[in-house]
Copies of this chain bind each other. A is one copy, B any other.
Amino acid sequence: MKLATLKNGARDGRLVVVSKDLTRATDAASVAPTLQAALDDWEHMAPRLQLLAEQVELGSVPTFRFHEHECESPLPRAYQWADGSAYINHVELVRKARGAEVPESFYDDPLMYQGGSDAFLGPRDAIPLGDVAWGCDMEGEVAVITDDVPMGVSEADAASHIKLVMLCNDVSLRGLIPGELAKGFGFFQSKPPSAFTPVAVTPDELGEAWKDNVIHLPLHVDYNGQPFGRAEAGVDATFSLARLVAHAAKTRPLTAGTVIGSGTVSNKDADGGAGKPVAEGGLGYSCIAEIRMIETIADGAPKTPFMKPGDTVRMEMLDKAGHSIFGAIEQTVEAVS
């Protein structure tokens, strides 16, 4: 089934069940008023929401036109957002640009940071930016929402706790990252609120594209209206999303509604080298930092600037038939004082 949260002036919005083709929706209030409420009792709520989803397809419940621009992120605020780095190519590129090695341990011990989850942006909300010097970047990712996960869960068991899948634009302030990481406590000011696709879907909606807890489809990232990234989310994923859930739960349980991210989707080129831009026939990039690294490796300095007010990003994933699975994140950077 496909779920979305419509803006209604309340902090958690209003849960709706969306048709598979994203054209129509029905109110889910008879089951749960909000997605968090559904996740709090998922075992009982999911079958009832599933029934509603079937009725939407059959046309046996009243529906209304679904507009992606009326959506909040599926969870407008969440109790947890933890972002991993499944695509080590991204990490390799970042490190290569500054001449650093990737420690061997990174290939079997996931990187993960605790992100802010109190105020996600809606999928069509502006990205507020206080200062262009902060180096605003987008990062295209896959993200999952879990139910309650017990401490110490195995990777195999973690898979069964992945209840919903969506895409994420993990907004990053690259200009603040070096100073913040040098302090040793990880990201804080450099990771302002992220946005998620209008729709979150159960893994079964992905069909064969959901295999081994990874999505095997390209992530479409457009920047200022031009194709920027078409990286294959099913390729070069060193860690599955189940593995990242298990990593997060090693020393503590995770509460229902926990959002776990894959990190920036990133591929090597077919020849094993750093990826080429889409315009040069490559798969491109899911963030600006990567093309800047490619430029740095090639020419000694980056030439693509980070985002400034007015710049737009679009992220979407299409099924084999070319239909949007999650709807699109479409955001414009906006100056705030």
- A residues neighboring B (CB under 8 Å): 11, 40, 77-80, 82, 103, 105-106, 109, 111-119, 128, 130, 134, 151-152, 173, 176, 181, 183-193, 247-248, 250-255, 257-258, 336-337
A186 vs chain B, min Cβ distance (A): 2
Task: Give the complex CA separation of A322 and B255 in angstroms.
Answer: 38
A150 vs chain B, min Cβ distance (A): 10
Kindly identify which residue among B11, B78, B79 contacts A40, using a CB–CB cutoff of 8 Å.
B11
State how many copies of this chain the complex holds: 2
Known pairs A130-B152, A185-B186; A252 contacts B40 (CB<8 A):
no
Task: List 8 contacting pairs A-B, 8 Å CB cutoff, sorted by A.
Answer: A80-B116, A80-B118, A103-B183, A114-B187, A114-B188, A130-B251, A173-B251, A186-B186
Does B188 lie within 8 Å of A112, measured CB to CB?
yes
Majority secondary structure of chain A interface residues (helix, strand, loop or mixed): loop
Does B189 lie within 8 Å of A187, measured CB to CB?
no
Task: Give the complex CA separation of A257 and B106 in angstroms.
Answer: 35
Name the residue among A111, A251, A252 with the largest chain B CB count within 10 angstroms. Answer: A251
A147 vs chain B, min Cβ distance (A): 12
Task: Give the complex CA separation of A209 and B231 in angstroms.
Answer: 57
Residues on B with C-beta less than 8 A from A116 are 80, 82, 114, 252
Task: Give the complex CA separation of A119 and B258 in angstroms.
Answer: 10
Task: Give the complex CA separation of A187 and B185 in angstroms.
Answer: 7
